[in-house]
Amino acid sequence: MTTGLRPGGPPQDPRHEEDRQLPRQERVGQGAPHVENRTRSAVITARAAASFEPVGRSVATARSFVRDTLQGWGFADIIDDAVVLTSELVTNAVVHAGTAADVLCLRSDDGVRIEVADHYPEREVPVQTSAVSMGSPDREGGRGLQLCAALAGHWGVEYTPTHKRVWFQLDLPERPVGTRAAGPALPAELLPLADGRVRVAVIQIDRNASVSAWNEDAEELFGYAADQVTGKPLTDLAAWPQTPGTGTGIAEALRLSRWEGSYGIRCADGRVSPVYASHLRVRDTAGEPSTVCLLVRDHERAVLQTPLRTGSADTATAQEGQAADPFEVFIGSPAPDDLDGLLQRTVERARDMLDGDAAFLLLATDDETELEVRASTGLPSARQRFARVPVEAGPGRYGSARMPAVHDDLSAVPGAVPLLSGTGMRSVVTVPLKVEGRLTGSLGVAAEAPTRYSNEEALRLQFAADRIALAVESARLGELERLRRGSLSFLVEASDLLAGTLDRDQTLALMAQMTIPTLATWCAVYTIADQASEPYLSYVLHEDEERIDGLKALLSKIPPPEPIPTPGARVWTQPAEAAHRAALRTSMRSLGLGEPPALSSGIGTTLATASAVGGETVVLPLVARNRVIGMLTLGKPTDEHFRQEILELAEDLSRRAALALDNARLYSERTAISQSLQRSLLPPELPMVEGVEVDVIYRAAGEGNEVGGDFYDLFPIRDGAYGFAIGDVCGTGPEAAAVTGLARHALRLLAREGFGGPAVLERLNSAILDEGARSRFLTLLYGELWPQEDGSAVLKVVCAGHPLPLRLRQDGTVEPAAEPQPLLGVMEDLELYEQTVTLDPGDVLLCVTDGVTERREGTRMLGDDGLADVLTTCTGLTAGAVAARIMRAVERFASDAPSDDMAILAMRVPGLLKD
């Protein structure tokens, strides 16, 4: 069944459609009607079809498909209407009906027919027996059909058991034979300027995209002779920039019936020459297709650029010789490559169209609660850029954002348009930018004179805004997608950098350096030690290093921001106010109106600092583990504001930075506690033993460890007697260090109680076993030392499972100075004995832990023999030199860092000094 409406006639009643005996529609493929039956009287000259999944992004994809198709067919007059209608109908299919949508474009001599089919045949078309009532344009239900009735020359709806198809036909404007689009007559001084003779390169491209013709102007412009390029693909010479908003490449553009745009040609001298080109697809008498390309220098594009063809409604106006509307010219011209360029051109054309003094364009945030200034012309500098105003509620609201509005005199309603406060503008017209019923922005034109605009100008501006809204939203979404991708990459890199350090000062520096200049011009980080502490200015950074000192001095003189845990950025006005006051005082002093001139030094620095912090300043709390540990302050120079996307990115960064900063704080605290406890396990200092040189070298394995499982000690027992020990607890780290502390303190206590060496070790063995599951076995060399009057020294040693001590004699011989006995912490009943050793003058006693003898390089190990070989080279050296040589030999034995604790205790008897 088919129902349809024609403009100017009553609606057809679908109940009587069968009585008219219209032919049934036959199908070719999925959802595709037979061409001859469907067009009835028109001949189809081209067709394009595509299917779209039932997801929201398919609407934008369908718009691009229709736009690219009609652009390729050369139907620029009807592209915008076709895109609007397709957008509404595809939205009904993929969003409201929830089915896939099939879009078919058919080209004929009369115009273009577009069909949108969905898979929800139960949906009904409202039957109308009276005049059509369009209702509210913001109402969702039936809006697509209302638009079809308003914009299309013909339209209708067809039902089958499996599909519902809505079609509309847009007719091309009728033009008398021989008419062409033309620009207005202009004075000579307003014509485009060309340097020298205008050269038009004519290049013909065959069906394989290869050059088949190359004229003399092409040789002059690009430096290639015709025989050098004939047969070569144009893609080898073209520097193609990818047309903004489409996926069209050079190969696709050459196959379109007509194309205009900019790209580059790689010249013979290696440079890229920007050109403006017009492509026309033709075929010869044999039916062979080719493309004729006309190219001029890019700054001479006016020679080839086609003016916009006016629609049928404007034909009379065009025939009367009146110039085309400047905003309409803008709509038809190639869009700038970036969003900012598109918005700036929009406000300039809007101002010219209504002969205003200023114009501005604001874009809505995602939740439509605020509008952000993105482009303006005729307003004071860029101080309004990225400023935000609320849409509905609150002071300074933008109350006229959702509907067209005309303000005859802003002095009667101050604050109606906050952007214009203090600018001298009196009258203003504002219109909304809407896409699919959603507010996406606001466009306004203002004048210094009151009562300048009427409803007629508002309707003209609204029509222009409707034409550009879709392009602006598309460019905005593209920019937002690029920004989000960049933000994700930025946050990933920031997380890696912050996770790579646990040093508090380095974390503060990284936090500031990552924000400058990506997010802000300057940054200050305040830290809070605890809940009772005031925020402390810990780090200041500016993109200009010469401004850091002045900025730090300024921030030090004002109270820090309040540590409020509320998430998000809040504006902090004190820095800008303080900078303004300082600049005012400095200027007055320089004029002799304030303090004596002697106090007016640093005028340039003060004014530069005031300019650096005179813009918007925001504070983001650094919250970690439900506590505010600081604030991240970001600032802009004078007259600048933050974009909402930048503030959201800064908020994400602040959360990561807060956690990294708190982790660094916790690590620093625990490291300080650990190091303090570890230092308590080592002897405070070695006592001076008269007649004996003693030196110790100690290395604990593991980063940040000062004490491990190895330990040493040397302490006085009683007059003339000293105890010494060197031991190794099984394992490394804090667990081994706990047994180390037990052993060292027990040795001192038991030795000073008068117990001999075997008794001291037996009682220590019992103490270790009493630790139960925390006990660890221990190798220990313990001895007592008595220096003698004849210059020798007597030692009594017990070697409980420890590497044997080595004795170096003056003649260079090395021998063990004790015998091995059972280690501690394994058996309860130990029978240990001590051995007496006498060190003659010049002898050395070397005691080491197994970290020295078990030093490895692959399958090689230093071992006892290797240690003895090194010791034989130490004859005549002091105790400190002996210990140092042993350590160097151990370190050089292997290239890897030591994996075990090491302790070296060297004692040497130098002998009596002669008079």
Each residue's pLDDT tens digit, 350-394: 887 788 888 898 888 766 677 888 888 877 654 466 666 777 644
Residue type, 617: T
- What would the pLDDT profile of 279-302 be if each residue is shown by its tens digit? 888 888 888 899 999 999 888 877
Contact criterion met (CB below 8 Å) for 586 and 600: yes
* First-to-final CA distance of the chain: 132
Statement: residue 779 has pLDDT above 70: yes
Helix, strand or coil, per DSSP, at residue 482: helix
Helix/strand/coil (H/E/C) assignment for every residue in 400-459: CCCCCEEECCCCCCCCCCHHHCCCCCCEEEEEEEEECCEEEEEEEEEECCCCCCCHHHHH
- Residue 517: asked if its preceding bond is cis (omega within 30°), the reply is yes
The helix/strand/coil state of 297 is strand
Residues 6+ apart with CB under 8 A from 486: none
Please tell me which residue, 18 or 519, carries the higher pLDDT value: 519
Mean per-residue pLDDT of the chain: 77
List, in sequence order, every residue forming a beta bridge with 845; answer none if it has no partner: 807, 907
**43-47, 99-103, 174-178, 427-431: which has the minimum mean pLDDT?**
174-178
DSSP letters spanning 190-230: GSPP-SSS---EEEEE-TTSBEEEE-HHHHHHH---HHHHT
Q: Closest Cα to residue 837, out of 866, 868, 809?
A: 809
Alpha carbons 710 and 903: distance in angstroms, whole number: 6
Report residue 199 CA to chain centroid gap: 46
Q: How far apart are CA 695 and CA 685, in angstroms?
A: 11
Q: Between 175 and 22, where is the model more confident? A: 175
What pLDDT does 341 receive? 77
**CB–CB of 731/709 below 8 Å?**
yes
Model confidence over 511-542: pLDDT tens digits? 888 888 888 888 888 888 877 788 888 888 88
Q: What is the pLDDT of residue 113?
A: 92
pTM of the complete model: 0.44
- Residues whose CB falls within 8 Å of the CB of residue 429, separated by 6 or more in sequence, listed in order: 354, 404, 405, 406, 407, 444, 445, 446, 453, 457, 458, 461
If you write DSSP's letter for every residue of 326-367 in order, what string do you get? HHHHHHHSPPPSSHHHHHHHHHHHHHHHTT-SEEEEEEE-TT
HSE-CB for 299 with a 13 A CA cutoff: 5
DSSP state of 562: P
- Contacts by 377-385, CB closer than 8 A, 24 or more apart: 377/344, 377/347, 377/348, 377/351, 378/351, 378/446, 379/419, 379/420, 379/423, 380/423, 381/639, 382/639, 382/640, 383/638, 383/639, 383/640, 384/360, 384/419, 384/641, 385/640, 385/641
pLDDT at 558: 84
Given a cut of 90, whether residue 114 has pLDDT beyond it is: yes
Give the per-residue pLDDT at 385.
62
Structure-model confidence comparison of residues 477 and 217, the more confident one: 217
pLDDT at 140: 44
Q: Which of 209-223, 625-639, 669-683, 842-856 has the lowest mean pLDDT?
A: 669-683
- The type of residue at 22 is L
Task: Tell me what pLDDT residue 119 has.
Answer: 79
| Helix axis angle, 733-752 to 644-680, nearest 10° | 30
- pLDDT confidence of residue 23: 33
When pLDDT is cut at 50, 70 and 90, the band that residue 328 belongs to is very low
Residue 230: is its pLDDT beyond 90? yes
> At a CB cut-off of 8 Å and minimum separation 6, what does 319 contact?
none
Is pLDDT above 60 for 98?
yes
